[in-house]
Structure formats: C-alpha cells, structure tokens
C-alpha cells in the first residue's frame, strides 16, 4: 500500500506531526508551500491569514512532483486558521481529485478547531474518510505525548486503509 502525508505548516506544528506520522507508516511526505508566504510572525499574521480564509483565497502553490492519484492512503494535515482549514489546503483540494480515495485528516490548533473537519469532510464528500484527529500546539505542549498519539493514529488509519 502506498501512503502519503500531505500538509501545510506555517510555524512547524503540523510539520512535526506530519513527519511523525510518515515515519510511523512509511509514507511519503509532501509539504505544500505557497509561492507567497506570510511575512509577519507577529499579530499581523492573524490579520493576513484570517483575511485569506474569509476571502476564500486559494494561494498558488509551488509545484510538486507527486501525483496523489498514485496513492492508496492520503493523510491531509492542516493548521486551523480562522476556525477552518488553511488556504493552501483549499488550493490543493481545488486541483486534486480524491474521489474514492482513503483519506485521514489531522489538524493542529490553539484550542478552537471550529468547523475545520466539518468543512474538510464537506469538501471531500466523495472520498472515504477513515478518521480525524487534532493536536493542541504539539511543538510546545506535551510533545512526547503528541508524538505517541500521532504515531498510533497513523498506524490505525493505515490498518483501516488495508481492510
Ligand atoms: C492566521 C492564523 C489563524 C489562526 N486561527 C486559529 C483558530 O481559528 N483556532 C485555533 O485554535 N488556532 C488558530 N491559529 C493557531 C494555529 O492553528 C496553531 O498555532 C497551529 O498549531 C499552527 O500550526 P503550524 O505551526 O503548523 O502552522 C491560527 C494561526 C494563524 C497563523
């Protein structure tokens, strides 16, 4: 079975979890990179990122060579932005055809996940969603536990994908 973890991460939390999951199940890793990234690390990032979400922006991504069609299991990871998934994930889902694919979802957040999974599942109505899991700021909160949780979940999802 071929698996991939595809994700966006602005500040490293989603990256941490994506790497742990990929390592746990021997999946490929694909980090989505917008051609134009936010400059601000201060409060301005919330205004910039939040307005991208509100305006339903789908930023252009740097090209990547992987074709999601080649994979049996696709795990999608996103930080929560303005109570939903981040715009680069919207860019991905606009182009990728994940119809009938086995998909797992994870998010990293600061305590308010809002409609992140509801919106993702709406967008992926044609896919076979195997599960979802969220992580509260895993870089700075109980990182060891977060790693264990990520590893176990990824293995469970990979098991379900084989069934
Ligand atoms: C533009 C922006 C909007 C955010 N909105 C939310 C939110 O609505 N709810 C929440 O819990 N955290 C929110 N956060 C916090 C991030 O989801 C959280 O820090 C996450 O761990 C970041 O993942 P990353 O390090 O992979 O970028 C926001 C962060 C940014 C930059």
End-to-end CA distance of the chain: 11
pLDDT at position 41 over 80:
no
Predicted confidence band at 29 (pLDDT cuts at 50, 70, 90)? Answer: very high
Average pLDDT over residues 35-46: 85
Q: Which residue is associated with the tokens 């469970």? A: 156
d(CA 125, CA 98): 9
**Cα–ligand 1 centroid distance for 87 (angstroms):** 12
Q: What is the structure's pLDDT at 74?
A: 98
- Pocket mutation for ligand 1, best pick of 109, 115, 133, 138 (most atoms within 8 Å of C-beta): 109
pLDDT at 38 over 90: no
- Read off φ and ψ for residue 151, nearest 5 degrees: -65, -45
Distance (Å, rounded) from C-alpha 98 to C-alpha 101?
Answer: 5
CATH number for region 3-162: 3.40.50.360
pLDDT tens for residues 58-88? 999 999 999 999 999 999 999 999 999 999 9
Measured in Å, residue 85 CA sits from the centre of ligand 1 at 9
Residue extents of the structural domains in the chain: 3-162
Highest mean pLDDT of the ranges 38-42, 50-54, 87-91: 87-91
pLDDT of the residue at 117:
98
The pLDDT score that the predictor gives to residue 42 is 86
The angle subtended at Cα 1 by Cα 89 and Cα 106, nearest 5°, is 30
């Amino acid at each position: 079975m071929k698996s991939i973890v595809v994700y966006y991460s602005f500040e490293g939390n989603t990256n941490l979890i994506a790497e742990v999951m990929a390592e746990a199940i021997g999946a490929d890793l694909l980090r989505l990179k917008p051609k134009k990234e936010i400059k601000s690390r201060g409060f301005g990032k919330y205004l910039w990122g939040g307005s991208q979400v509100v305006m339903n922006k789908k930023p252009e991504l740097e090209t990547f060579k992987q074709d999601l069609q080649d994979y049996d299991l696709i795990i999608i990871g996103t930080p929560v932005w303005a109570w939903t998934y981040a715009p680069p994930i919207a860019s991905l889902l606009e182009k990728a055809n994940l119809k009938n694919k086995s998909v797992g979802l994870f998010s990293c957040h600061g305590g308010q996940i809002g409609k992140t999974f509801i919106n993702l599942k709406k967008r992926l109505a044609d896919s076979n969603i195997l599960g979802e899991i969220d992580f509260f700021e895993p870089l700075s909160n109980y990182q060891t536990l977060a790693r264990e949780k990520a590893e176990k979940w990824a293995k469970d999802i990979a098991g379900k994908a084989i069934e």
